[in-house]
């Protein structure tokens, strides 16, 4: 079934459609956050979030907490920007949401005092969204 999905994506590339945007305040050690919700042409949901913290150290602390909660860490690397400079840390992981009782794929990274994340039940969707947008 997975091979069929990958073949389908190769034939008909993923497209993402914005469905909603929300924002608020980070409760512990931060400023604001925003979350954008997308749906793909395969009807799979994806979210993209940004959170601002008081310092790069606090953003890295939250990054480490996410790593510690991961069911499986797939990759941890430096986050490189478009100019080839290291701007933070990046991780790819599988996490579990107990409220929804489901696993999800996540790519998250720090950039100064910011923590960004892309989450979806589909690992392929997460990696393709990151590739296209960042």
Determine which helix (DSSP H) or strand (DSSP E) holds 86, and give its type and residue range: strand 86-97
Question: 110: closest CA among 90, 130, 126, 127?
Answer: 90
Question: 29: closest CA among 79, 80, 65, 73?
Answer: 65
2-133 fold? Protein Transport Mog1p; Chain A (3.40.1000)
Q: Which residue has the tokens 């979030």?
A: 49
Question: 26: closest CA among 98, 129, 113?
Answer: 113
Question: pLDDT (tens digit, 0 to 9) for every residue of the chain, 134 residues total?
Answer: 555 555 655 568 899 999 999 998 876 666 789 999 999 999 999 999 999 999 999 999 999 999 999 999 999 999 999 899 999 999 999 999 999 999 999 999 999 999 999 999 999 999 999 999 88
Q: Where are the domains of the chain?
A: 2-133
């Amino acid at each position: 079934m997975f091979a069929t999905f990958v073949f389908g994506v190769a034939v008909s590339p993923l497209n993402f459609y914005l469905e909603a945007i929300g924002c608020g305040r980070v409760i512990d050690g931060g400023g604001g956050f925003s979350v954008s919700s997308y749906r793909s042409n395969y009807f799979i949901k994806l979210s993209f979030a940004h959170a601002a913290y008081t310092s790069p150290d606090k953003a890295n602390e939250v990054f480490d907490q996410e790593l510690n909660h991961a069911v499986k860490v797939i990759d941890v690397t430096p986050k490189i920007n478009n100019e080839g400079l290291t701007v933070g840390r990046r991780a790819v992981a599988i996490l579990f949401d107990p409220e929804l009782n489901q696993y999800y794929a996540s790519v998250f990274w720090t950039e100064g005092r910011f923590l960004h994340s892309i989450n979806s039940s589909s690992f392929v969707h997460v990696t393709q969204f990151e590739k296209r947008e960042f």
